[in-house]
Amino acid sequence: MSRQSVERIRKIIQPCGLSPQKSKAIRELSKILVEEHEGVVPQSFESLEKLPGVGHKTASVVMAQAFGVPAFPIDTHIHRLAQRWGLTNGRSVVQTEKDLKSLFPESSWNCLHLQIIFYGREHCTARGCDGTVCGICRELYPKRRKAVATKK
């Protein structure tokens, strides 16, 4: 990828969205991996987060899924679900990550974040569930009659 033009990368990743910025980041990230890391993806949060286009969530996904390091990647969907389910009252993904890490054993983090994502996609979508229709919402709050407003 480090040898490809930004335009070529953009055409490849266009279906993912935000391709102009992502394509530049992928090209620069690829150059850095080749030049500074001998073509090997670094295995630390600090090194990953220094790469263009890699924030804390992406670094957490890489550490968890590629290297098996316990991490709890939090995206906006997990953030909204955790609020809806009463697992956090945090206004930021940083607070939500801290809260979820304190609630669940470290050994479950790598699988649990994926389970929440998949459950949410199927049953409790970020914008499509009002907090009264999915099985978890109904189980947690059987007397709930009004939709829950989540903080972004």
Q: Is 50 a catalytic residue?
A: no
Matching residue, tokens 């930021």: 92
Q: Which helix (H) or strand (E) holds 39?
A: none
Comparing C-alpha atoms, which of 104, 86, 90 is closest to residue 141? 86
Residue 142 and residue 92: Cα distance in Å, rounded?
27
Active site residue 31: no
Count of helix runs (H) and strand runs (E) in the chain: 8, 0
DSSP calls for 77-129: HHHHHHHHTTS---SSHHHHHHHHHHHS-GGGHHHHHHHHHHHHHHHS-TTT-
- The residue annotated as part of the active site, out of 24, 31, 50, 57, is 57
Active site residues: 57, 75
